[in-house]
Amino acid sequence: MRTVFSIFLLFVVGMVPLRAGATAKILVLGDSLSAAYGITRQQGWVALLQQRLHALGLDYEVINASITGDTTRGGLSRLPATLEREAPAVLIIALGGNDGLRGFAPQQTAENLREMIRQGRATGASVLLLGIKLPANYGKAFGEKFHRIFLDLAQDEEVALVPFFLEGVAETRELMQADGIHPGASAQPRILDNVWSGLVPLLGESGRVAVPAGREAAGS
């Protein structure tokens, strides 16, 4: 009986935060796709992420450091100060779309993202990279080269990746705003589910409660 109780106790201890009372932070560094452009801040996927974590009883604070129009160069320039200020357990990098839309050299975008990944890891944060694809009118060759940035970086840096975090959204006209670039409010839960699939393993790395992936976890 004592052995059974000991095993149960070890199981419970392993399912609680490593530092009692400490609230870990998830830092989202992104552009308009994460800054809730065209909708209210509370409707955006980042705000919905905070709601999901709270609903699951997970002690995380989500910091949305996303700026509409930002590029990987801009994100890289402000990342060091943001990391120092927030000291996140998890860094979600959701940049690159504006680089592609402006025709920046893919190699420079890749190097900016690589440096952000390394800076995040240097502070002890787990890193999740969110991949993006360009609209078809940017051409197949350039579009494929651009998307390979994220796939190659994930492999080279051994970093967690969501290959296309607008999967099931960008190709569905009803979920997009009139500009055809920014997702509407109804698309945000789907975006969150896409991000969630890559985020869940990183929550385990930071010592928080193990949680299931998928829509069931959100109670949706």
- Residues involved in catalysis: 32, 179, 182
CA-derived radius of gyration, the chain: 18
Q: What whole-number distance in Å separates Cα of residue 173 and Cα of residue 183?
A: 9
| Angstrom distances, CA of residue 143 to CA of 115, 139, 149 | 22, 6, 10
Three-state DSSP class for residue 27: strand
- Burial degree of 81 (CB within 10 A; 0-12, 13-18, 19+): exposed
Secondary structure letter of residue 174 according to DSSP: G
